[in-house]
Structure 1
Amino acid sequence: MDWILEVVPVPVSNLDRAKDFYSTQVGFTLDLDIQISPDTRIIQLTPPGSTCSIHLSTGPMPPGSVSGLQLVVPDLDTAQTELSNRGVPVTEIMHFDQGTRLPGRGDPWNNFIFFDDPDGNSWVIQERPATPD
């Protein structure tokens, strides 16, 4: 039996601001925005190429409490440029050496950029090395 992770909740303080950030600035696809009751609105977005989505939520977790959500891309330079051009404050390319985050590139699978959403939920983007043909 397959166990597929489908949706990850991301707690935010303002649904419209978060929806705009993730769809317009980060480039996620807006899948669903529906008010299902006076107190419940569901906003679901999916990163391009992903089968797992995020669900923006105003509870029960505190806004900004999610850390280390991770995306993987084939080209970190392109991802960094795209995010920066859309106004996302993204770090320079970094790598880890014995637990310390350092500027510049590392070995394959050891290249990352980082950004936070407006509430402080943190994201990691890791570069997947190209596989030889």
Structure 2
Amino acid sequence: MADHGGEACKQVDSGMTRVFGLLGKRWTGLIVATLMAGPVHFADLRRAIPGISERMLSDRLGELGSAGLVVREVDAGPPLRVAYRLSRAGLALEPALKELARWAETYLADGGQCPERFRD
């Protein structure tokens, strides 16, 4: 077994820990990506993300709201409707999400697996 010394065991950056603590949760990235186009009503947001339950969507939107990334807007109607949009901080994620999408097209194109030519 190789000895890599103390340098190989540095702790992960605290900023990365905070980012993945929030955005690394299941569904959160998809919610943010869906809201990039603009405000979306709750029911439309749920339809846009297949497989997410109403409760999970509500929980994730609450977390994103508490973090300051999503703003909840109530349209008194009638009928009463609730829409969600990204805050300025949420919109600032767009370049990072676009880069991740480009990365996925290159490195996860084979059914979610990295193609052999990129493994070494």
TM-score for the superposition, normalised by structure 1: 0.29
Greater gyration radius: 2
Q: Which has the higher contact order (CA 8 A, sep 6+)?
A: 1
Give the helix-richer structure, 1 or 2.
2
Q: TM-score of the superposition, structure 2-length normalised?
A: 0.30
More strand by share: 1
